[in-house]
Structure 1
Amino acid sequence: MGDWSTFGELAARQDAQLGRLLTAAARSPFYARRGVPADRAGLADYPMTTKADLRAAYPFGLLAVDRRELATYHESSGSSGVPTASYYTADDWLDLAERYARKHVGIFPADTFLVRTPYALMITGHLAHAAARSRGATVVPADNRSLAMPYAKVLRLLQDLGVTLTWSLPTDTLLWAAAAELAGRRPGKDFPHLRALFVGGEPLSPARRDRIAAIWDAPVVEEYGATETGSLAGECPHGRLHLWADRALFEVHDPVTGRIGRDGRGQLVVTPLYREAMPLLRYAIEDDVEITYADCPCGWVLPAIRVLGRAHTGTLGLTQTDVEQLVFALPAEYGVMFWRARTEGAGLRIEIEVAPRYRQAATRELREAVGAAFGIDVSVRAATLVPAASLTGEPEVMKPRALFGAGDNWDKALNYY
């Protein structure tokens, strides 16, 4: 991966680009007011850029180029009610696409690539689309926020088109599997062309990753990034998630102690090095992560990252990954694919969807495992979390229409969805 062989050479590569980034940042109204550091040493003491800063700068307070140079405009999927804007030039998109396409399984012209993440204002669908086209693959734009793309249609496309690669949330791959079983299809047998599942957008424990790979009989290749930054990390052939440290500077911030360093456990802070439209200096993503610098059998001289989640569960000090690892450590024959949990006082309530004949064993084993691992009170119950109708239904979608025949139902004239 690249033309450097040591972390020292990697740092020199970062420094060579940092000066250009700082010059670009000085053209942004936000950073022009705040002032821009001169070098890496000055950047170390520079205040972090927060999501609140991005919201306050909406829509173009961070723009560092003329509006005519923009290629795309995006907003994150945040739930605060106040948008965070991101924008990119055509040259920014060359960098975005190249980083995403760094998949160890490769993306090739012979591939049919189903993109099953949102297009809309988020970057995820557009990012995979651009990367796949840059490698010559055929793209199937199967947006997952559209009534026109129910799970039944996804299954049809996977099978009829001979889809070889997919891009989705990890949870979506399990929803496809559940929908396939309801339709009498076998996920690991009836989709023989599928050679890899690209996933991202949510924490993924090793146990859930292994379960997805076993269900579909295909490797699961993880990706990590954000709408504000694009791809930040990708997976090597040995299953480690490596940060693209040749394209960005990474730090770990412990919000409790205030410690900031290049490794350890805390919240991720990133400075993308190749940004024209919207430079970001020390952007606090707020994801809980763990970064390590060590040799990897893959030979990539890049730091490794574990993504733990965005928020701890109440005051229990748990992340989603902590609990998920134990949920998917249950025997595969129990059929557990969906779960949820919430804090209740000093304890945790968990619900799982499990095959009826295994309910007693699954709830007991999970209760004992979580209690033993974290020393907390746990209640576990079986529940229906994904109704069958949501996996098999095909909502009616129609184009705008105003003229109807005598026998037509014109009450649908305004039912444009």
Structure 2
Amino acid sequence: MSRPPSERLPQLGDWRDHEQLRKMQDDQLRELLVWARQSPFYRKRFGDGAAPASRGDFEDLGLTSKQDLRDAYPFGMLAVPRGELATYHESSGTAGSPTPSYYTEADWTDLAERYARKWVSIEPDDVFLVRTPYALMITGHLAHAAARTRGATVVPGDNRSLAMPYSRVVRVLHDLGVSLTWSMPTETLLWAAAARAAGLVPNRDFSSLRALFVGGEPLSPARRARISEIWGVPVVEEYGSTETGSLAGECPEGHLHLWADRAVFEVFDPRTGALSASGAGQLVVTPLYRQAMPLLRYNLEDNVEVSLDPCPCGWQLPTVRVLGRSAFGHRVGPATITQARLEELVFGLPLEHGVMFWRARARADLLEIEIEVAAPHREAACAALTAAVKAACGDIPARVDGVPVGTLVPTEALTGVHDVVKPRSLFGPDEDWSKALLYY
């Protein structure tokens, strides 16, 4: 049977140092390895020999891959009776095969607690706009559950629904007095553009807003600072996945900490096959309180840098820098250009230039960059970015073009209202019956 939801899980401050934290991990790891024996996938992997029972045995195990999860679809990883499941999910990956994930009610207690660990706390009088998918991915459900455990009012603003265009997001943010939001960083820039299109000023006309919770894509310091400038509130970062839930959150000092009291984290070097507690490589995760679907040494394949250096916040948890795909680059002349590198330069432009949207194409012989910028600032913004690229990347062939506002993000996308209707089959003589049975 699953553990009762009331069982106390580790809380920040329950340990004094990394040594004590490791002992806490070891105690729970033994129970996790017992749970894993109930999973068909791990029973097969363990074979006929003695099942792993300690940290030493655990560290002899191979990695669990995303392909392993796909091959076990739908319930080959299940370690509890089907009737104990609370939710079923699939990740947003584009590999073509489903990556299943499922949780019990007790698993959800752990999930919600981890997400709610924010230095800007979620309070009962908050109005919390959840602007991430509510479908098979966990992201929207996770924030929703965490906010409800703290008593906040949740506004379920799914970003994949035609019923929630940007014009409606702006209305909800303004009229409902939204105080906290959860979205990808790019979403917050789109809201700002939509607010301005509606005649509103982001850092003036949304007085209830007190923080923007963001995750789901790499966020450079420059873009983070720009979002905070535009809205006039802190930007609080979160890191996780559908397969694992929240893995890291931000401390009051602005560092992203891995929740090592709830999971074992390792860094995998794909070149050497070595695993370590810190350094650069791919993040490997073992959630310690996941009973429905135990994952042992699950390779998320996200590129990270993990450090065990002390943080002034005193949490005694590893810090992580999530690189994601931004760690990969393209050669232009003698230089390697990454998205993170360019993002720092674009959002390093002066705020008054108003640049929020850009795109770039890296060719072997030319770096092309387009920035969306109003005519009065176009020449200055292009000149400044050209100089910044040269200073940061050397004398590579580069061209920066300014395009009118509305080119990269059409104004219609920011101001339009979709015609979302329920399906019907009977129409009058002057109605368009081609819309029969359609939801849009």
Fold equivalence (TM over 0.5): yes
Is the 2:88–2:102 Cα contact (8 Å) retained in structure 1? yes
What pairs with 1:66-81 in structure 2 (closer than 5 Å)?
Answer: 66-81=81-96
Give the SS at the match of 2:103: strand
Pair 47,317 (structure 1): closer, same or farther in 2 beyond 3 Å? farther
What pairs with 1:92-131 in structure 2 (closer than 5 Å)?
Answer: 92-131=107-146
Instruction: Name 1:254's counterpart in structure 2.
Output: 269
**1:265, CA displacement in angstroms?**
1.4
Instruction: Name 1:207's counterpart in structure 2.
Output: 222
Pair 314,68 (structure 1): closer, same or farther in 2 beyond 3 Å? farther
Is the 1:208–1:325 Cα contact (8 Å) retained in structure 2? yes
Mapped partners of 2:194, 2:343: distance in 1: 22
Q: Which moved more, 1:182-191 or 1:354-363?
A: 354-363
**Letter paired with 2:329:** T
Pair 346,48 (structure 1): closer, same or farther in 2 beyond 3 Å? farther
Q: Does 1:32 align with 2:43?
A: yes
Instruction: Name 1:313's counterpart in structure 2.
Output: 329
Could you report, residue by residue, the CA deviation over 1:362-396 in whole angstroms, capped at 9, with x for unpaired residues?
23332332343234443332342111111111110
Mapped partners of 2:303, 2:382: distance in 1: 28
Instruction: Name 1:341's counterpart in structure 2.
Output: 360
Instruction: Name 1:3's counterpart in structure 2.
Output: 14
Instruction: Name 2:150's counterpart in structure 1.
Output: 135
Pair 52,318 (structure 1): closer, same or farther in 2 beyond 3 Å? farther
Is the 1:308–1:320 Cα contact (8 Å) retained in structure 2? no
**1:314, CA displacement in angstroms?**
3.8
Instruction: Name 1:327's counterpart in structure 2.
Output: 346
Q: Does 1:180 align with 2:199?
A: no
Q: Does 1:59 align with 2:106?
A: no
Pair 332,48 (structure 1): closer, same or farther in 2 beyond 3 Å? same
**Letter paired with 1:416:** Y
Is the 2:330–2:338 Cα contact (8 Å) retained in structure 1? no
Give the SS at the match of 2:162: coil
Q: Which moved more, 1:56-65 or 1:185-194?
A: 56-65
Give the SS at the match of 1:341: strand
Could you report, residue by residue, the CA deviation over 1:324-361 in whole angstroms, capped at 9, with x for unpaired residues?
12221111111111122333126543322222232233
Mapped partners of 1:64, 1:188: distance in 2: 49
Mapped partners of 2:302, 2:231: distance in 1: 29
Pair 324,401 (structure 1): closer, same or farther in 2 beyond 3 Å? same
Instruction: Name 1:361's counterpart in structure 2.
Output: 380
Mapped partners of 1:330, 1:123: distance in 2: 35
Is the 1:267–1:287 Cα contact (8 Å) retained in structure 2? yes
Q: Which moved more, 1:84-93 or 1:396-405?
A: 396-405
**1:257, CA displacement in angstroms?**
3.5
Consecutive unaligned residues in structure 1, runs of 5 or more: none
Consecutive unaligned residues in structure 2, runs of 5 or more: 1-11
Mapped partners of 1:155, 1:199: distance in 2: 17
Instruction: Name 2:409's counterpart in structure 1.
Output: 386
Is the 1:244–1:302 Cα contact (8 Å) retained in structure 2? yes
Mapped partners of 2:398, 2:322: distance in 1: 25
Mapped partners of 1:364, 1:91: distance in 2: 56
Pair 53,368 (structure 1): closer, same or farther in 2 beyond 3 Å? farther
Mapped partners of 1:319, 1:276: distance in 2: 39
Mapped partners of 2:247, 2:366: distance in 1: 35
Is the 2:167–2:414 Cα contact (8 Å) retained in structure 1? yes
**1:98, CA displacement in angstroms?**
0.4
**1:3, CA displacement in angstroms?**
1.1
**1:406, CA displacement in angstroms?**
4.0
Pair 413,106 (structure 1): closer, same or farther in 2 beyond 3 Å? same
Instruction: Name 2:64's counterpart in structure 1.
Output: 49
Q: Which of 15, 31, 42 in structure 2 is aligned with 1:20?
A: 31
Cα-Cα RMSD: 1.6
Mapped partners of 1:379, 1:46: distance in 2: 50
Q: Which of 390, 412, 417 in structure 1 is aligned with 2:435?
A: 412
**Letter paired with 2:266:** E
Give the SS at the match of 2:26: helix
Instruction: Name 1:86's counterpart in structure 2.
Output: 101
Is the 1:313–1:342 Cα contact (8 Å) retained in structure 2? no
Instruction: Name 2:3's counterpart in structure 1.
Output: none
**Letter paired with 1:343:** A
Is the 1:203–1:320 Cα contact (8 Å) retained in structure 2? no
Q: Which of 281, 292, 295 in structure 2 is aligned with 1:266?
A: 281
Identical aligned residues as a percent: 65
Give the SS at the match of 1:103: coil
Could you report, residue by residue, the CA deviation over 1:216-271 in whole angstroms, capped at 9, with x for unpaired residues?
11111110000000000000111111110000111112223433211111111111
Instruction: Name 2:9's counterpart in structure 1.
Output: none
Pair 209,25 (structure 1): closer, same or farther in 2 beyond 3 Å? same
**Letter paired with 1:303:** P
**1:99, CA displacement in angstroms?**
0.3
Is the 1:308–1:319 Cα contact (8 Å) retained in structure 2? no
TM-score, normalization by structure 1:
0.96
**1:297, CA displacement in angstroms?**
1.6
Pair 254,274 (structure 1): closer, same or farther in 2 beyond 3 Å? same
**1:319, CA displacement in angstroms?**
4.2
**1:64, CA displacement in angstroms?**
1.0
Could you report, residue by residue, the CA deviation over 1:138-190 in whole angstroms, capped at 9, with x for unpaired residues?
11000000100000000111111111111000000000000111111000111
Q: Which moved more, 1:164-173 or 1:284-293?
A: 284-293
Give the SS at the match of 2:329: coil
